[in-house]
Amino acid sequence: METFATRGYHNASLAEIAERSGLTQAGVLHHFRSKAGLLTGVLDLRDQSDLAQLGEERPRGLAFLAHLVDTARRNAEREGIVRLYAVLSAESVTSGHPAQEYFRARYAGLRAMVVEAIGEAADAGEVPAGLDPRAAASAVMAVMDGLQVQWLLAPEAVDMAATTDLVIGALLGRPVPGGG
């Protein structure tokens, strides 16, 4: 994780990864078959840690939006994972990057969850009429990703949780219950 986070996929070497993990290059390739397979394994590990925080079932409606604020709060304690995500998600837009499909699917899945949560909140009368759930979901995701980059560059200047809470609250026209 640390090697991909600090060097990116293309500049990370299997030799360094093997050395840092106490294995030979052949040992790393025995478990992951390729550098791309290793990258996918690292990204899956990151997602598993996030999913473990959700428990058995994801929160619904405004509770899911509050969960996003909590995720931003937890991310402020996980610099390595935040750096890994920021570096690899940006790098994945390049042609032929092995994580491109992973990030496309991840963004589509997260967007769908946020759209669904906003729809659930709308059904409960908890969001303003006329709020476009897809646009709101894209805005929330853009804010969270952008905050991560800003925080990595100047952690003392950026409060990811407070800003995420502020933006979601502004979109909803009300504070996020349990968010701040």
pLDDT per 10-residue tile (average), the chain, 180 residues: 82 91 91 86 78 76 94 90 89 92 92 95 91 96 97 97 96 83
Residue type present at position 53: Q
Are 53 and 71 in contact, with CB atoms under 8 Å apart? Answer: yes
User: What is the reported pLDDT for 158?
Assistant: 97
pLDDT at residue 180, rounded to an integer? 62
Q: How many secondary structure helices (H) and strands (E) does the chain include?
A: 9, 0
Residue 58: phi and psi, rounded to 5, are -65, 150
CATH number for the domain whose boundaries are 47-172: 1.10.357.10
The pTM assigned to this predicted structure is 0.83
Q: Two tokens at 10? A: 């293309």
Domain ranges of the chain: 47-172
